[in-house]
Structure 1
């Protein structure tokens, strides 16, 4: 089984704004970026499964790539930043931000979730995925979720996963050799 973890394309939002599960519109460059993503994939139209975060930035990319049938799975959503959603990072109380960043793995954002919460739902998705193998699996999702899945596959501490650079429209490939996940590439 080959699993392609695909990060959504760029968004139409000002830099410095906190967003996670808010449905942000895609940037005007979507078509060009989506075609770049397509060029990175080897789409075998037989024997594949496709999943996407239900947020439009992921769903629209999956639809553009003609990944049908497509299963929308809320476990693939980005971290829920709760009360901080759509606030400028600079406008968030420095004390609250310091408290959260000191232990973002376990500390929940006010009204939101922790990185561990995101990890747990990502792992639940991954384990279910591994129970129903296919030749190819395409997962269109978010950087945070991809990082948590890579931390799980690599058995790496969650706080270290933020060291992984994942560009908009990037593809990460994991294949299985005798039920062992092998990472072929990250952020291509």
Structure 2
């Protein structure tokens, strides 16, 4: 089975704000160009194949792009809350510089286990993404073709690290542009191989 995890197009949001689960609108001026680039990159990866399914985070910045991709293949979109971005809780939509230094330091000391007040930890994202991927394999079978998911930078990075059996935080500093994709091939035994990153 192949998993192609695509980051959503740019949202309409002020720079330097902490955002995750907030359902931000898309940047209308850049949406069509971003989706066209996503379609081109996806076509290169598929190399003539048709996806078995198109999956999406429920957040509109992902779902609207997934709808556009799915339409080009005549497929429905399977929405799954486990593909949503990290919930930053009380930090959501606050400027990074306004956050308590002691909380940021606690996060730096335990990137995997720390959760912002009322939010979730990286470990929780790892678990929900692993459950989603396992569910896809269980529902469609190990050799079920290509599954495309439009999701977010945090879940993509964390799931990639987990799938490659790397430390949870190994991919957090890897560049991942808006609209870019990560292509993983998952063997029948569950072992994954990275085919493309930030493509």
**Structure 2-normalised TM-score?**
0.89
Kindly indicate whether residue 73 of structure 2 is the aligned counterpart of residue 36 of structure 1.
Answer: no
> Any gaps of 5 or more consecutive residues in structure 1?
none
Q: Is the 8 A contact 1:52 1:59 kept in 2?
A: yes
Structure 1 match to 2:193? 182
Q: Displacement, 1:47?
A: 5.7
Unaligned runs of 5+ in 2: none
Q: For residue 137 of structure 1, what is the aligned residue in structure 2?
A: 147
Distance 2:178 2:78 in 1: 21
Other-structure match for 1:105: 112
Instruction: For 1:13 and 1:111, locate their aligned partners in 2 and report how far apart those are by CA, in whole Å.
Output: 22
Q: Runs ≥4 in structure 1, deviation > 4 angstroms?
A: 43-47
Instruction: Tell me if the contact between 1:3 and 1:173 (Cα under 8 Å) persists in the aligned partners.
Output: yes
Is the CA contact 1:126–1:149 (under 8 Å) kept in the aligned structure 2? no
Matches within 5 A, 1:5-24: 5-24=5-24
1:95 to 2:99 alignment:
no
1:48 is matched with 52
Matched residue, 1:120: 127
Residue 73 of structure 2 corresponds to residue 63 of structure 1 = no
Report the Cα distance in structure 2 between the residues aligned to 1:49 and 1:22, rounded to whole angstroms: 26
Match of 1:84 in 2: 91
- Root mean square deviation, CA, Å: 1.6
Note if contact 2:54-2:70 (Cα within 8 Å) is conserved in structure 1: no
What secondary structure is seen at the aligned counterpart in 2 of 1:162? Answer: coil
In the superposition, the TM-score normalised over structure 1's length comes to 0.93
Deviation at 1:104, TM superposition (A): 2.2
**Larger mean Cα displacement after TM superposition, 150-159 or 170-179:** 170-179
Q: Secondary structure of the equivalent of 1:35? A: helix
